[in-house]
């Protein structure tokens, strides 16, 4: 049985993850502006790749910081299939 849990992440890590996500937010806004301004395709793709990598890193940081708590059920057990599914969703 799977239950919903909050992600427990140390405040310092939470702050770093949020900062990284804010950077991604800015990168995506920049990509939109680049497309609106008909910028060079290579520049746009480079920025999309950078935003994607930053978002992946934020996801991995969340996983590394709070996965166990996120997946524990009422008895403290972690479903290995759910663990694998979440890891693969980041791949």
Give 36-57 pLDDT, tens digit per residue. Answer: 999 999 999 999 999 999 999 8
Angle, in degrees to the nearest 10, between helices 80-89 and 41-71: 160
Q: What does pLDDT average to over the chain? A: 83
With cut-offs at 50, 70 and 90, classify the pLDDT of residue 33.
very high
Q: Rounded to two decimals, what is the model's pTM? A: 0.69
Do 30 and 50 contact (CB within 8 A), yes or no?
A: no
All structural domains of the chain, each given as residue ranges with its CATH number in brackets, are 11-89 (1.20.58.1000)
Question: pLDDT, tens digit, for every residue of 66-86?
Answer: 666 666 666 667 777 877 787
| pLDDT class of 9 with cuts at 50, 70, 90 | confident
Task: Give the dihedral of Cα atoms 27, 55, 45, 89; nearest 10 deg.
Answer: -150
Q: Residue 67 has what pLDDT?
A: 67
pLDDT at position 13 is: 85
Under a CB-based contact definition with an 8 Å cutoff, are residues 84 and 12 in contact?
no
Predicted confidence at residue 5, as pLDDT, reads: 55
User: Distance between CA 48 and CA 29 in Å, rounded?
Assistant: 10
Contacts of 9 (CB under 8 A, 6+ apart): 17, 62, 65, 66
Distances (CA, A) of 84 to 9, 63, 91: 20, 12, 11
């Amino acid at each position: 049985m799977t239950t919903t849990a909050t992600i427990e992440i140390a405040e310092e890590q939470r702050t770093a993850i949020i900062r990284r996500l804010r950077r991604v937010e800015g990168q995506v806004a920049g990509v939109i502006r680049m497309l609106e301004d008909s910028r060079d395709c290579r520049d746009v793709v480079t920025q999309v790749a950078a935003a994607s990598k930053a978002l992946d890193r934020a996801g991995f940081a969340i996983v590394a910081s709070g996965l166990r708590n996120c997946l524990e059920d009422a008895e403290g057990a972690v479903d290995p299939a759910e663990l694998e599914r979440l890891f693969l969703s980041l791949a």
